[in-house]
Structure 1
């Protein structure tokens, strides 16, 4: 079964809106682990509008499951942050400064030389590397040449088209996953996965290792409670 990593960015957004420490980001992360989350994901951005750089240091001290830090390695401050904390995994995302949310994967052909260098730097410190990619076979094939351990399939188009035609929506992801398996790349996935579309995705993507879910999970928890919500997402990941 694929692991569930809970992205806690939205908890930080809520905390920052009042300037205090409510909700307590560290407590939420620890509770998420206690409720069954198998990883904690954060995506700090240069303006620190949600996750602050200090949060990463504070979380690193207490996280017992896998710690995943996402971000754009073209920001030197991000690279320094990752190297200082040495998480289990770093996920490289080609976000522009000020971007609201991630909306595309790497062009692994155009940026291959750069990715090779930065991936080698992280791997030399014992950090597993995943890179954000669109479900295009040519991008998966070029990703393997960068030396990355895993790819993270950007699932926005799947989620957007799931209700209209789920078989058509998932088709390019199945092809990308099969190629990744053939090339020996691990597969993660994330963006707009939720309780409606997660189970079908999990059942049909061969070799899926991890999903990172934040926005939908946190929204669901407002109605269902965090513990119950995490358990519901874990059940959705079961291939039955």
Structure 2
């Protein structure tokens, strides 16, 4: 065999091995190509995945809207109740469209729901009006009981679940809890309403990173600029309206 043919055969073998290593590297998740060897091997040009209707739909989804504590019935009751506490009007969206129920769900699934930073040891005494709940139940347990009792009261008074009531009937149920007209044995009806109301307002105005205040519309309604890094460039200027920014915008 001539020297020229031997050179061509070696070149084919080299390229064949190189192609094999390259393909193998992609096949095993880039393990081979992730090291020094990878920088020496030619990589095929990557083609962008075609945009299908499914990928276009996924691009518009918020994966922060996922239940972590509530079951579907509890979530539906919370969503309906918070939307009556903070309904939509000419100023902007209500609690439902702002994702407040997701905010509450996420909080109950974490430290806040477990009262991780609260002193929870006995003895327990009935607190003053300004002290709030003084007992052994965690917030997630209070919500579990409170939502169940809202459902029970709705069935007893209207023969329907809370989410099937008219807005006026839902308001009447919530007002009965607020005024302690509902007799509960484990928790205070008004105490649960206060907790639900304060959680609703937190979900409306908290950073959207935590599940509520969707698209920062709660801040837009208040003209609140959100989490700005600094105001040094406008501090000496006339009043300036800034578009709100989330903590996520700085990542």
TM-score (norm 2): 0.19
**Which of structures 1 and 2 has the bigger CA Rg?**
2
Which is strand-richer, 1 or 2?
1
Which is helix-richer, 1 or 2?
2
TM-score (norm 1): 0.20
